[in-house]
Amino acid sequence: MYISNFESIIYCSLILILSFFSFILFNKKLFNTKIPKIILYIIFGIFLGPYSLNIEGWFELHRVGGRIGEVYALSNVALGFLIVTSFSNIRSAEKQVDLKSLASYMTGTFAALLLALSTSHIVLRIAPGLTFPSQTVGEERATILVLALAVIVTSVPFLTKIFIDLKMIGTTFSSTVLVSACLLDILIWAVFPISDVLRTQSQFDLLPVLTSLVMTLTAAGALFLVTFSLVKLYDRWAQQHESGQIGIAFIIAVSLAAALTSASLGAGLLLGMLIAGLCLGRAKSIAERSMPFLAKLAQWVFIPAYFILVGRGLVFDNAISIYDIAVFLLWSSALKIASVTIAHVLMSKNARQSFLNGVVFNTRGGPGLVLATVAYSMNLINVNAFSAFVVASILTAPVTELVLRYRTDHAKTSTVGDAALEGTL
């Protein structure tokens, strides 16, 4: 069925209107529960899943599939808003980043990556449904690399939303976590193109792998320098002029240009979004004048829209294996949490706080969903692995929020009081 541009506009507008409606609805006292808003948005999206607009503009019941283009585009726009506005929260507390803790996060995650690469063969034997029935050696290596990256991916947007909801944004803890997650995700999307190189090799050849990595890192570095220079020039000009509306247009233009440039270089949209957010978030004029409006717009419309679209995408025509999903979720979470926890224990000797750090850094969220979508579209993973990535990305966020909420509530009611809370967070 031909889908007109007019109908696409109607469809996207309807999703955004429903997103704003859901934001108002789920922030009423009726929904003032311990259930994370993320889950409520996703459930709302699951309810909308089987529905789509027909040509006449009425709702028509059928399975998902007719509006993949609009969903993909709108999801990327929403994710872009989440990522870019997230970085404005890091800037004010840059000097509060705990370098020792940051090193522990990165060391633990690198250990989790090595463990994931070395144990993926065992997991694929236990849960063979996570891979295609017949694969070449190169295709199997590519799948294993994607599985390992799905273990270590960490979400800046999800964590930012959780920290804002719990009023933890700006603390040393939240700033260190967000900066660590940003650096990690940039490295992940620099490594991801290697998977496409691996699946074409019948025998492992290190040179093409290194070439791909160097080219991606070079492109990312060049994109960062160009974006950073443009933002710095604009910031100097904007500090001497009233530039609220111009700043909003500048943010959108830079973010779009960075994302499209990154995608055209084969590094993916998300890497460009991360670089744009990192550069824009450091500009004082943008952070103070233009970003607050976009942050509110993201909170009111695009955060609900993104999670609603995530829920909508959970409706599948194909049967999926709950067993395979459970195996991946347990394996990946155990590796990530244990590795980060041990790395922090070796640094701080505080087991309880170290475990909390491990749980928080296991939040995969938006980048995990994007990794699942991109890998699935490139035929690097099958529908079971895709479903496992999506479920892990969704479930780890509310687990983090619930654990942090419990920890903050416990600290506030303890005899030590606010000092304990500040020490923990």
Averages of pLDDT over each 10 residues, the chain, 425 residues: 54 73 70 66 72 43 44 67 67 66 91 93 88 80 91 84 78 84 85 84 78 83 88 82 74 83 75 81 72 77 78 62 90 94 86 88 83 82 86 85 78 44 42
Residue for token pair 């999670």: 307
Question: Could you tell me the CA-to-CA distances from 215 to 70, 196, 221, 261, 262 in Å, in that order?
Answer: 31, 14, 10, 14, 12
Burial of 294 (C-beta count, 10 Å sphere; 0-12/13-18/19+): buried
Q: Are 236 and 213 in contact (CB under 8 A)?
A: no
**Beta-carbon count within 10 A of 217 CB:** 15
Nearest 5°: phi and psi at 167? Answer: 60, 40
| Tokens representing residue 15 in the block | 């999703």
| Tokens representing residue 65 in the block | 């599939």
| Tokens representing residue 237 in the block | 């000009």
User: Hey, is 154 helix, strand or coil?
Assistant: coil
Q: Are 188 and 153 in contact (CB under 8 A)?
A: yes
pLDDT value at residue 415: 40
CA angle (106, 259, 265) in 5-degree steps: 85
Cα separation, 396 vs 156, in Å, equals: 13
User: Hey, is 53 helix, strand or coil?
Assistant: strand
CA angle (152, 183, 283) in 5-degree steps: 145
- Containing H/E element for 366? helix 365-377
Q: Are 323 and 129 in contact (CB under 8 A)?
A: yes
Cα separation, 357 vs 363, in Å, equals: 11
Q: Are 39 and 302 in contact (CB under 8 A)?
A: no
pLDDT value at residue 3: 43
**Helices 383-413 and 37-48, interaxial angle, to 10°?**
150
Nearest 5°: phi and psi at 51? Answer: -105, 150
Q: Which spans in 128-205 are helix H?
A: 137-152, 156-165, 172-191, 194-198
What percent of the residues of the chain are helix, what percent strand, and what percent coil, each to the nearest 5?
A: 75, 0, 20
Residue for token pair 């590795």: 339
User: Hey, is 61 helix, strand or coil?
Assistant: strand
Residue for token pair 């926890």: 341
pLDDT value at residue 418: 37
| Tokens representing residue 13 in the block | 């507008």
Domain ranges of the chain: 71-172+197-202+289-424
Nearest 5°: phi and psi at 49? Answer: -50, -50
Cα separation, 192 vs 266, in Å, equals: 10
Gyration radius of the chain's alpha carbons? 21
